Amino acid sequence: DTEVTQTPKHLVMGMTNKKSLKCEQHMGHRAMYWYKQKAKKPPELMFVYSYEKLSINESVPSRFSPECPNSSLLNLHLHALQPEDSALYLCASSQPGSLTDTQYFGPGTRLTVL
Amino acid sequence: DAKTTQPPSMDCAEGRAANLPCNHSTISGNEYVYWYRQIHSQGPQYIIHGLKNNETNEMASLIITEDRKSSTLILPHATLRDTAVYYCIVRVHNDYKLSFGAGTTVTVRA
C-alpha cells in the first residue's frame, strides 16, 4: 500500500474559523511533510516531521500549526487564515535512510479562505 | 534559487517517445537528479532518480550526461495519461527538502 490519504478533499473557511487538515499513511514511513501549492505554481515545503519530531519549519506563519500525534498521522491546524492562504495543501511521507528516498504524496486538500 | 532549468512546455504525439531536457550546471558531486510529475489536481508522483549512471524503470529512462550538467527524462511511449507537469529536481540523497522548480508542462496529443 503506497497510499497517502488526506481529508477533507475540499475545505471552505472564514477568516475567523479554526479547522484542521488530516493526513494518514500506513507505509511505516517515519518522515511526513506538509507542502503548499498556489495555483499554477510548484509545491513549496512548509514543515517536515521526522520520527514524530518537527525537524523543518520553513518560516511558516503561526496561523498554521502542525501536529504529528503518531507515526502514521499528520495534522495541520488552521486559525485566523487570510484569503491569500487559499491553496492546495499536500501531505507527503518518506522513509529516512531508504535507498530510493521517495516522497509519496497525497491528493491534497483544496482550501478556500473567504 | 532554482538549481534546474527546464523548458516551460512541450507537446508530444501519443505513442511516440517524449524526451524532456533538464539543465543542472551547478550540480554538486553528492546531488542526485530526481524527476517527479504532477497530473492535474493530483499530488506529485515520483518517476525516477539517478546520480551519474543512466537509469530505467517501468515508467521512464533517465539519461545523465557524463559531466552531469544536464539530463533527459525519456517516456518511451507517451500516452494521453502522461499529460502532466514534470519536475526535475537536484538534491542530496536523504535530504528532506524537495525543492520544486517551475517544471515542464507536457501535453500528449492524440
pLDDT tens by residue, B28-75:
998 999 999 999 989 999 999 999 989 999 999 999 999 999 999 999
Nearest-CA distance from B43 to chain A in Å? 5
CA trace torsion B37, B75, B106, A92 (10° rounding): 0
Per-residue pLDDT 10s for chain A (114 aa) are 569 999 999 999 999 999 999 999 999 999 999 999 999 999 999 999 999 999 999 999 999 999 999 999 999 999 999 999 999 999 999 998 887 778 999 999 999 999
Nearest-CA distance from B46 to chain A in Å? 7
Where are any strands of DSSP class E within chain A?
4-7, 10-13, 18-25, 31-37, 44-50, 53-57, 64-70, 73-79, 87-94, 104-105, 109-113
pLDDT higher than threshold 80 for residue B102: yes
Q: Are strands A64-70 and B104-109 parallel, antiparallel or unpaired?
A: unpaired
Which of A53, A91, A101 to probe by mutation at the B interface, max B CB count within 10 Å?
A: A101
Distance of CA A79 to the CA centre of its chain: 15
pLDDT higher than threshold 60 for residue B1: no
Closest-CA residue of chain B to A2: B45
Q: Do A101 and B43 touch (CB under 8 A)?
A: no
pLDDT of residue A2: 65
Residues paired with residue A90 on neighbouring β-strands, in sequence order: A35
Q: How far is CA B90 from CA A92, B19, B24, B96, in A?
A: 18, 18, 8, 12
**What confidence tens digit (pLDDT) does each residue in B66-92 have?**
999 999 999 999 999 999 999 999 998
pLDDT tier, B96 (very low <50, low <70, confident <90, very high otherwise): confident
For residue A90, the chain B residues in CB contact (below 8 A) are: 43-44
Could you identify the residue written with the cell 543542472?
A: B24
Residue B92: helix, strand or coil by DSSP? strand
